[in-house]
């Protein structure tokens, strides 16, 4: 049985370059797009989306390469560049009649949201980021033994072949290890939801690896170009994250302030899967962002 967002319509719409994205759409009002993380699908927003749909049109797509969305072959570095994935989201929203919208992303979706904010400042009205730092900064803060927490980033950065083979050979164990290790409240992810994430991820090993590989290549190039140009996020930005700065030894709020002058930086006691573990807190943070 396919799990869905109750009360939402489920559609397929064009992204960039002929790719189609699956999305759940519900509610009525000013539009908010919610982008999922790894190793998940749009289902991670089920609690937050229901709450926001009382006041907004809520759009929850599966990113390209994930869930029920298209999984194009990585024929070049741009196919899974966050710039391309951000263009997907802008195209999808436009297909629904929204030329401007608020955007909130978690984990991988937050990297896409960050790139959308830089590339499409005339389109993104508000930007919400859950539990990341930008790609360029991520690589800069992962040093020494503490970087072991991000071992999967280094694994999937390797040339095509070995990472895909290793992960596909033990997909449930690999993807399940993150669902287990990163959740402070395992009860927030019921068994049927966990199983849905594992099925979706096992069916998308090649495209998921391509997404991560892009973050060790073309995404770094794009971030560095913006840093060199002094580019910043022009819209109000809210970042909610675990206290990674204390764990890895850097100033998380300072990292974000360099990119986002209009910043509300918040720490949470919830685990990485905060939209599922603390939906009231995350919904409140998004509502506060939209009120700015």
Of 62, 88, 107, 211, the catalytic one is 107
36 is catalytic: no
pLDDT in the model for residue 143: 84
Is residue 152 part of the annotated active site? The answer reads no
- CA angle 76-211-118, nearest 5°? 90
Per-residue model confidence (pLDDT) at position 247: 76
Rounded CA separation 163/160 (Å): 7
Question: Per-residue pLDDT for 1 more than 80?
Answer: no
Average pLDDT over residues 162-189: 96
User: What is the mean pLDDT of the segment spanning 178-192?
Assistant: 94
**Residue 231 contacts by C-beta under 8 Å, 6 or more apart in sequence?**
118
pLDDT > 70: percent of the chain: 99
Exposed / middle / buried, residue 153 (Cβ in 10 Å: 0-12, 13-18, 19+): middle
Q: Model confidence over 220-265: pLDDT tens digits?
A: 999 999 999 999 999 999 999 999 878 788 899 999 999 999 999 9
Share of the chain above pLDDT 90, in %: 92
Instruction: Name the β-bridge partners of 23.
Output: 11, 61
Q: Which of 42, 56, 222, 272 is catalytic?
A: 272
User: Please, which residues have CB within 8 angstroms of residue 268's CB and are 6 or more apart in sequence?
Assistant: 240, 241, 242, 274, 278, 281
Q: Residue 2 pLDDT more than 80?
A: no
Mean pLDDT of the region 189-218: 97
Q: What is the pLDDT of residues 47-74, one digit of tens each?
A: 999 999 999 999 999 999 999 999 999 9
């Amino acid at each position: 049985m396919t799990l869905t967002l109750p009360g939402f319509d489920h559609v397929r719409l064009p992204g960039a370059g002929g790719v189609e994205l699956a999305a759940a759409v519900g509610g009525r009002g000013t539009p908010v797009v919610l982008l999922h993380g790894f190793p998940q699908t749009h289902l991670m927003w089920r609690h937050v989306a229901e709450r926001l749909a009382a006041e907004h049109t809520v759009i929850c797509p599966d990113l390209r390469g994930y869930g029920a969305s298209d999984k194009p072959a990585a024929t070049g570095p741009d196919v899974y560049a966050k710039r391309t994935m951000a263009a997907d989201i802008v195209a999808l929203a436009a297909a629904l009649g929204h030329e401007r919208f608020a955007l909130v992303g978690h984990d991988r979706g937050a990297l896409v949201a960050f790139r959308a904010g830089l590339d499409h400042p005339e389109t993104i009205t508000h930007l919400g980021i859950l539990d990341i730092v930008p790609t360029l900064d991520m690589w800069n803060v992962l040093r020494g033994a503490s970087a072991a927490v991000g071992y999967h980033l280094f694994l999937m950065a390797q040339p095509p072949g070995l990472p895909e083979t290793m992960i596909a050979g033990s997909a449930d164990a690999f993807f399940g290890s993150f669902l287990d290790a990163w959740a402070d409240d395992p009860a927030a992810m019921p068994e049927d939801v966990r199983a849905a994430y594992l099925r979706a991820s096992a069916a998308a090993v090649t495209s998921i690896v391509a997404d991560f590989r892009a973050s060790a290549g073309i995404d770094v190039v794009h971030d560095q170009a913006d840093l060199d140009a002094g580019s910043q996020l022009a819209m109000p930005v809210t970042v909610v994250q675990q206290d990674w700065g204390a764990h890895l030894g850097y100033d998380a709020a300072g990292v974000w302030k360099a990119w986002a002058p209009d910043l509300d930086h918040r720490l949470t006691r919830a685990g990485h899967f905060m939209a599922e573990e603390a939906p009231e807190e995350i919904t409140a943070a998004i509502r506060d962002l939209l009120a700015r």
